[in-house]
Structure 1
Amino acid sequence: MEDIRKRFERYKSIQYAITLILAASDTFENAVPKILKTLCESLQWSLAEFWMADRGANKLRFAEVWYKPSAKISEFVAQSRQISFSPGEGLPGSVWVNGKPIWIEDVVSDSNFLRAKIADEAGLRIAVGFPLITVSAMNALLESVATEAGLHGAVGFPLRDGNEIVGVIVLFSNKIEKPDGELIGMFNVISIQIGQFIRLKQTEETLRRKIDFEKTVAKISTRFVNTLDFGNEISVSLADVGRLCKATRVCLFQFHNDRNSVAGEIGKTYEWCDEGIASNIQNLQEMYSTTYTWLMENFNKGTMIYITDVSKITQGIASEKEILERLKIKSLLIIPVQVEEKLLGFISFDNVVAIDNLHEDNITLLYMIGEIVGSAIIRKQSESLIRHMAYHDPLTNLPNRLLFKDRLLMGIMQAKRSGRMLAVVILDLDIFKTINDSLGHHIGDLLLKIVAERLTRCVRGSDTVARTGGDEFSIILSDLTHMQNAAVVAWKILDVIKKPCLIEGHNIRTAASLGISIYPLDSHNIDDLIKMADKAMYYSKQSDGNTCHFYNSDMNKYVQAHKE
C-alpha cells in the first residue's frame, strides 16, 4: 500500500510541476522542453520526444527532445530527427490514430516499432506514447466510453471540427516493465493539460502573426504611396516581410519592360538576406531563366509555386531540383507580381533552414504584398513614362528641346571642370518639305526615324542627339580636345545622311545643312551657343546645302580640311 501511495504522490507532483511549467510559459516552444525533462527526471526514464502534428501534410514531425547524456542515445535522436510518421505508422502514428496511450513493453521485439534496431543499439526497451488532446477530442473519447457502457447520448459532448490531437509525446526507458495503470491515468490527465495549452498558444500565435502580417501589409502599402526612392522602399519591404514569414532570403525579380527585350526576361532584381545568409541573387536569376521551362511556364500563368520540401521534388523538374539543392534551399515559395492580367515579375521566399514553414493564411497575405508591389511597379513605370514623354520626342524617341538644353548645361559645366571644349551642332534636312508634300507625312515621318537612327550611330554614347523641330536635329559633342574634332563628326554625318533610303518602295535621297558653335570659344551661354549654331546652319543652307559651317568663319578652314 505504501508503494502505491508513494507512486500516487509522485504522479500528483508531476502533474503539479507540469501545471506550473504551463502557467509560467509564454509559448509552447518554451514549455515543451521543460515538460520532457520533468517527465524523464521524475520517472527516471532515459528519453522523451515530442512529435508535432502537421495537419497540412498529415504527418507527425520530430519537434523536441530531452535525454540523459549518452553517445548511443544521441545517435538514436539524430536518426529520429530525419523521420516523420503518417497516421497509424509506428508508435507515434498509432497513438495519433487511436487517441489513447500505448505502452510497448519491449520495443526490440515489437513489430510495429519501426525504430527497433536503433533503439536496441541505444539500449532502449520500454516505450510509452500518449496523445496531446484538445477538449473536442477528449469529448469524443468520453462519448465512446459512454457508448460502451450503454449510455449512448447521455454524455452530450459535441465533437468540434479541427485538429483535435496536436501532437504525441513518446517516453523511453532502458528497463523492461509491465504497463502501469496509474501512470497511464496520469498521462491521460496531462495529455489534456498540455494539449489545450498547445492549442491555445497556437491560436494566439496564429492571431498574433495575422495581426503582424496585416500591419506589415498596411505599412508596405502606405510606404509606396508617395515614394521617391522605389529601390530603397522595395529593399526595406522585402526585409520586413522576410523576417515576418521567417524566410532566410527574399528576392524580387522584375521582367524587362522595354519593347526590345524578350518576353519574360528578367530585368531589375532586389534581394534581402537574413543575418548570416549569403547572397544568391545571381545564381537564382540564372535558375529563373527560360532554361527552366517548368518554372517559367508557371510564372507566365501567374501561378503560385510552393515547394514545401525541395528533397521531394519529382523527377519531372530535375533541373530545378539540382540547382535548389546546390544552393542548399530546403523550401521555396514564389508569388507572382501582377496587376490584373499583366505579369510584372515575382517574389521568391526561400529557406535554407526549415521545410514547410509557411501557413496558408500567411501565403494569402503574401499574395496581397505581391499585388501591392505590382501596383507600385506600375505606378513607377507610369511616372517614368510621363517623365520620358515630357523630355523626349514621341516620333524618334530622341531627347526633345527641353532635355537638350538640360544636357547642354551639364555638358558646359563638365567642360569647364575638365578644361576641354564642347560643340553644338544644328542640323536641318534639305528638301524635306518637298518629300513631305510629294510622298505624304507618313513617309516623311519614317524618313525622320531613319535619320535619327543614323545620327545616333555617328556619335559616342556620351554625346547627345535631339530632335528640336520638324526636320531639325541638335547634337552635343562633348569632351573635345580641338575644334577640328567637330568637323570630322560633321562630315561623317553629312556622308551618312545623303545615303539613299528605301521606304515603302520609294528610293529617297536627301541631304542636310549643319551649323557648329564651340564652347568656350564662341560663348559660355547655352542660348547663345544654340543661336550661333543655328545661324551657322543657315549659312550652310544658303550655300546650297549638304555642307557645314562653324559660326566663327575663321574655323571653317577645318571644314574644308576634313571634307571627303
Structure 2
Amino acid sequence: MQNGKLGFSEKAAPSQNTAGEIFCFHLLDSIPFPVFYLDRDLVFTQCNRAAAAALLHPVEEIIGRSLDEVVSGKEDIVREVREVRHTGEPLSALFASIRHGTPDGERQYQVSLLPDRGEDSLLRGILVVGEDITERKGVEKALRFRLELERIIMMISTNFIKLPSDEIDSGILDALRLIGEFARVDRSYVFLFREDGKIMDNTHEWCAEGVAPQIHRLKGIHADRDLPWFSRRIKGREIVHIPSVADLPPEARAEKEEFEREAIKSLITVPMVQGDTLIGFLGLDSVRAGKEWSEDSIALLRIVGEIFANALQRKRAEETIRFQTYHDLLTGLPNRTMLMDRLSLEIPQMQHSRKRIAVLLIGIDRFKNINDSLGHAVGDALLKDIAARLKTRIHEYDMVARMGGDEFMVLLPFIDYPEDVARAAEKIMDAFKDPFLLGAHTLHVTASIGISLYPEDGENAEVLVRNADIALYHAKSQGRNNYQFYNSSINVRTLERILLENRLRQTIEQGELEIRYQPQMEIKTKRIVGAEALVRWKHPDLGLLTPGRFIPLAEEAGLVISIDQWVLHRTCAQMKAWQQAGFPSFSISVNLSARQFQQKDLAETISRVLRENALSPESLGVEITESLAMQDTELTARNLRMLSAIGVRFSIDDFGTGYSSLSYLKKIPFHKLKIDKSFIINLAEDQDYQSIIRAIIDMAHGLKLKVVAEGVETEEQLSFLRTSHCDEIQGHFFSKPLSAEDFEKFVLAHT
C-alpha cells in the first residue's frame, strides 16, 4: 500500500502498473479467502477471485459498483459496514450467509472489517476480509445435534428407569413429544401387536400442532392382510424408511393408499423387540413434506424403541404380578385377596346408606370325585365353565371371586331385603341346571350355597366370610344342592366339625399325626407275622383321635391323599429302621383310601417309596375295604395287578360288610382276607355268625387266600378261630395298637 492505499490503480489492469503493483495484485488474487476493498463511499475498488466467488459476481462486475448493488438483500451486512465507516472502529465478528445455486447450497462466512486511514487520520476506505466457515459450522451443527440427541436419550432413559409401571404410558407420550419435536416431524407413535402377532393397534401417539390425530382409527389392523409389504419388512426386523410415499413401489400399493389416506408424505419405523419377540414398532411421519432421516436420527429411534420395549416388558410383568396377586389364574376371576379388599371397602359405604351386603359362598358338590375320577384337566375345565356361568348371574356392580379349590364367592352390595338374596341364590343355583359339556364328558353338577348378611351376621369381612362358610357347611349337611342363611342356632356339632376340618389342614405341618402298630399273630405258631399301621391324630385339645373321627373329614376336604402319603413314607422309614436294628422279618400293612386308590400312578408311587427306603416289596402290605374294591372292579383289578407285579401283597379289609356279589374275588388277586370284627364280636352268642365265619374261612382257603380275624378280644374267640382253621388274628387279646417304641418292646418280648 502507498499512502494507506493499495499499491496499484483500482481499475487498472496489471499490465498498466509497475512490477510491484502486479506482484501485489497476484498476491491478493492468490489468497484463498475473500478479500476486497471499499472506498469511503462504499464502492468496490479491489476484489480477489475468492471474494468474487463468494459474492456471486465476476470481478469485473464488482469493481466500481457500490456495496448496496453487489450485496442486494443483505441489509444487515450493509448496515454493519456503514457503522464501521461512521465509527472508524474495526469489526472482526460479522457473520454472513450467502445462498449459492450449487449443490453446496448456502455458504457461511465470518467477516472482518478493517478501517483504512490516511496520514491525516481520515477514513479512506474499508478493507474487508472474509473466511468461509461453512464446514466448521457444519461440524458445530452436527456436534450440537449429537449432543442434543444424547441429551434426549439420556433424559428418556433416566425417566423410564425411575418411572412407576402405571406411569409408563404417559412416559411414552412424553418421549414421543421429545423425539417428534427433535426430529421436526408431524407425528410420532407406537404400534403394538396383539398376542397372536397378527393384529396391531396404534397405542400411543404425539401430533405436532395443527396435525390431526389418527390413533382413534388405527385399531385392530390386520398387518399381513391390510399392509402386506410393510408387514413383511417390519416382521423381518427391518427399519422401514420411506422418504417419499409417492415413490413407493407398485407392490406397496395398499400401503401407499393407506398412507395417502392419512396424508403422510414420508415416514420411518423401527421394530420394537422383547427378547426374540417382535412386540411392535416406533414410527415418525411427516404430512407436510418428504423427509430424509439421518443415521443419527435412526440411531435415536432404535435406542428409544429399545427403551420403550423394555419399559413395556416391565409394565406387563408388573401388571401380571399385580393380576396374579388379585386374580385366580385358572378362571381369571378376582381371588380371595381382592374380594376381601372389596368387602372391607363396601362395609363403610353400607353403614352410611343403611343397606345390607350379602356374602354367598358357593361350594361345588362332590367336586373331588370329579377331579379324582376324571383327572385335574377335566376338573379345571369344569371350574372355568362354572366361573363363566356365574359371571352371567350377577350385575356389574356385584363381584364373583374364586376363593380356592371348588369354592366361589359372590358379593352383593346395596341389598334391601333378605328375600332379594334368596332370589339371587336361586338364580345362581339355576346356573347349574344345564349339564356341563367337557369334551367327551357330560357332567351334571350341583352346588351348595352358604349366605351371611351384613350387618346381622358380622361387622367385618373376616366374620362375614367365616359365617358364610358355616352356612355352606350346614347346606352340605342338609343334603347338598341347596342354600342356607347363616344363623346363630346352627348346631354346635356342625361348628365343631368345621373347626376340626380347619385344624386338620395343619396336622402334617404341625406334626400332630402319629402311627400306631397293631401286631398280627399266626395262630398255629403264636409268632408275630406282621402288623397294621393305624394313623392317629394327636389333637391338642381333643386328645388322640382314631381315623373314624377325622378320615371322613379329610376325604371331604381333599386332604386324605396327603395323609396317605405321610403314613406310607413314615411306615416304610420305620420298617427300614427295624430291619437295620436286626428285628425279625415281618410285613406291615397300610390302609389305602378310595382317593389314593383312584390315582393312576399308585403302583409307581409305592414303588418309589420302597426304593427310597431300600425295602423289598414283600415288606409292605396294602389293605383296601370290600366296599372300595366294589366301586370300580376293573380299575381296582388293574391297580392291584400292577402292585402284584412289583411284589406288593395286599388284603381285603372288613370282609362281609360290603356288597353281596363275590365275583370280584376272582377278578382281584388278593393275598389275604380280613374278617370284619363285627362278626367276631357276636360269634359267642350267635350260631349263625359262627357258620358265616367258617364259610368265609373255607371259601378263602379254597381261593388260596390266608384269613385274618380282626377284633379278637377273648380266649373263647381265639379258640373258635383256631378250630375253624383261621390263619392269623389281630386284636386286643393279643395287643392293642402300639407306638413304635412300645411295638419294639412287644416284638422283643415275643421273639
Task: Give TM-score scaled by structure 1 length.
Answer: 0.63
Which residue is equivalent to 1:242? 180
Q: Does 1:529 align with 2:467?
A: no
Distance in 1 of aligned mates of 2:141 and 2:439: 69
Which residue is equivalent to 1:23? none
Q: Indicate if the aligned counterparts of 2:10 and 2:46 stay in contact, CA closer than 8 A.
A: no
Which residue is equivalent to 2:150? 214
Q: Indicate if the aligned counterparts of 1:287 and 1:323 stay in contact, CA closer than 8 A.
A: no
Which residue is equivalent to 1:9? 44
Percentage of identical aligned residues: 34
User: Secondary structure at 1:488's aligned position in 2?
Assistant: helix
Which residue is equivalent to 1:199? 135
1:541 to 1:283, Cα distance in 2 relative to 1, 3 A: closer
Task: Give the residue type in structure 1 aligned to 2:179.
Answer: V
Count, aligned residues: 398
Which residue is equivalent to 1:271? 205
Which residue is equivalent to 1:505? 440
Which residue is equivalent to 2:161? 225
Task: Give the residue type in structure 1 aligned to 2:216.
Answer: Q
Which residue is equivalent to 2:85? none
Task: Give the residue type in structure 2 aligned to 1:199.
Answer: E
Task: Give the residue type in structure 1 aligned to 2:379.
Answer: G
Q: Does 1:42 align with 2:77?
A: no
Tell me which moved more, 227-236 or 290-299. 290-299
Distance in 2 of aligned mates of 1:336 and 1:255: 11
5 Å-filtered alignment, 1:243-322, equals 243-257=181-195, 262-267=196-201, 269-285=203-219, 290-322=225-257
Distance in 1 of aligned mates of 2:369 and 2:421: 29
1:277 to 1:507, Cα distance in 2 relative to 1, 3 A: closer
1:302 to 1:459, Cα distance in 2 relative to 1, 3 A: farther
User: Secondary structure at 1:240's aligned position in 2?
Assistant: helix
Distance in 1 of aligned mates of 2:458 and 2:68: 94
5 Å-filtered alignment, 1:256-405, equals 256-257=194-195, 262-267=196-201, 269-285=203-219, 290-405=225-340
Distance in 2 of aligned mates of 1:15 and 1:304: 44
Distance in 2 of aligned mates of 1:427 and 1:380: 35
Q: Deviations over 1:90-109 (max 9, x none)?
A: xxxxxxxxxxxxxxxxxxxx
Task: Give the residue type in structure 2 aligned to 1:281.
Answer: I
CA shift for structure 1 position 415:
3.9
Which residue is equivalent to 1:442? 377
Q: Does 1:167 align with 2:105?
A: yes
Q: Indicate if the aligned counterparts of 2:202 and 2:219 stay in contact, CA closer than 8 A.
A: no
Q: Deviations over 1:150-174 (max 9, x none)?
A: xxxxxxxxxxxxxxx63389xxxxx
User: Secondary structure at 1:458's aligned position in 2?
Assistant: coil
5 Å-filtered alignment, 1:78-117, equals none
CA shift for structure 1 position 277:
2.9
Q: Indicate if the aligned counterparts of 2:364 and 2:445 stay in contact, CA closer than 8 A.
A: yes
| Equivalent of residue 542 in structure 1, options 449, 454, 477 | 477
CA shift for structure 1 position 326:
3.8
CA shift for structure 1 position 197:
2.6
The structure number with the bigger radius of gyration is 2
Distance in 1 of aligned mates of 2:268 and 2:353: 52
User: Secondary structure at 2:161's aligned position in 1?
Assistant: coil
1:268 to 1:334, Cα distance in 2 relative to 1, 3 A: closer
Distance in 2 of aligned mates of 1:472 and 1:277: 54
Which residue is equivalent to 1:486? 421
Distance in 2 of aligned mates of 1:535 and 1:39: 108
Q: Deviations over 1:22-64 (max 9, x none)?
A: xxxxxxxxxxxxxxxx99953388x99xxxxxxxxxxxxxxxx
CA shift for structure 1 position 521:
4.2
Distance in 2 of aligned mates of 1:39 and 1:448: 96
User: Secondary structure at 2:321's aligned position in 1?
Assistant: helix
Structure 1: gaps of 5 or more residues: 21-37, 49-128, 133-164, 170-189, 555-564
CA shift for structure 1 position 279:
2.2
Distance in 1 of aligned mates of 2:334 and 2:346: 15
1:324 to 1:519, Cα distance in 2 relative to 1, 3 A: same
Q: Does 1:473 align with 2:415?
A: no
User: Secondary structure at 1:407's aligned position in 2?
Assistant: helix
Structure 2: gaps of 5 or more residues: 1-8, 14-36, 56-64, 75-98, 108-127, 490-751
CA shift for structure 1 position 477:
2.1
Distance in 2 of aligned mates of 1:461 and 1:11: 91
Task: Give the residue type in structure 2 aligned to 1:198.
Answer: T
1:40 to 1:248, Cα distance in 2 relative to 1, 3 A: farther
CA shift for structure 1 position 359:
0.9
Q: Deviations over 1:84-142 (max 9, x none)?
A: xxxxxxxxxxxxxxxxxxxxxxxxxxxxxxxxxxxxxxxxxxxxx9776xxxxxxxxxx
Q: Indicate if the aligned counterparts of 1:14 and 1:42 stay in contact, CA closer than 8 A.
A: no
5 Å-filtered alignment, 1:134-173, equals 166-167=104-105
Distance in 2 of aligned mates of 1:462 and 1:216: 45
User: Secondary structure at 2:190's aligned position in 1?
Assistant: strand
Q: Deviations over 1:320-363 (max 9, x none)?
A: 32343343322211122112321112222112233224212220
Which residue is equivalent to 2:634? none
1:2 to 1:365, Cα distance in 2 relative to 1, 3 A: closer
1:345 to 1:479, Cα distance in 2 relative to 1, 3 A: farther
Task: Give the residue type in structure 1 aligned to 2:157.
Answer: S
Task: Give the residue type in structure 2 aligned to 1:217.
Answer: I
Task: Give TM-score scaled by structure 2 length.
Answer: 0.48
CA shift for structure 1 position 205:
1.5
1:284 to 1:393, Cα distance in 2 relative to 1, 3 A: closer
Q: Indicate if the aligned counterparts of 2:202 and 2:215 stay in contact, CA closer than 8 A.
A: no
User: Secondary structure at 1:208's aligned position in 2?
Assistant: helix
Q: Deviations over 1:198-221 (max 9, x none)?
A: 322222212211121122112211
CA shift for structure 1 position 419:
4.7
Which residue is equivalent to 1:27? none
CA shift for structure 1 position 267:
4.5
Task: Give the residue type in structure 2 aligned to 1:401.
Answer: R
User: Secondary structure at 1:497's aligned position in 2?
Assistant: coil
Distance in 2 of aligned mates of 1:479 and 1:40: 90
Distance in 1 of aligned mates of 2:400 and 2:66: 82
Task: Give the residue type in structure 2 aligned to 1:349.
Answer: L
Distance in 1 of aligned mates of 2:66 and 2:298: 37
1:466 to 1:299, Cα distance in 2 relative to 1, 3 A: same
Tell me which moved more, 263-272 or 333-342. 263-272
Task: Give the residue type in structure 2 aligned to 1:43.
Answer: V
Which residue is equivalent to 1:74? none
1:19 to 1:538, Cα distance in 2 relative to 1, 3 A: same
Distance in 2 of aligned mates of 1:193 and 1:287: 58
CA RMSD after TM alignment: 3.6
Q: Indicate if the aligned counterparts of 1:304 and 1:333 stay in contact, CA closer than 8 A.
A: yes
Distance in 2 of aligned mates of 1:549 and 1:312: 75
Which residue is equivalent to 2:62? none
Distance in 2 of aligned mates of 1:303 and 1:39: 58
Distance in 2 of aligned mates of 1:285 and 1:503: 35
Distance in 2 of aligned mates of 1:478 and 1:18: 87
Tell me which moved more, 414-423 or 398-407. 414-423
1:199 to 1:266, Cα distance in 2 relative to 1, 3 A: same
User: Secondary structure at 1:282's aligned position in 2?
Assistant: coil
User: Secondary structure at 2:251's aligned position in 1?
Assistant: helix
Q: Indicate if the aligned counterparts of 1:515 and 1:534 stay in contact, CA closer than 8 A.
A: yes
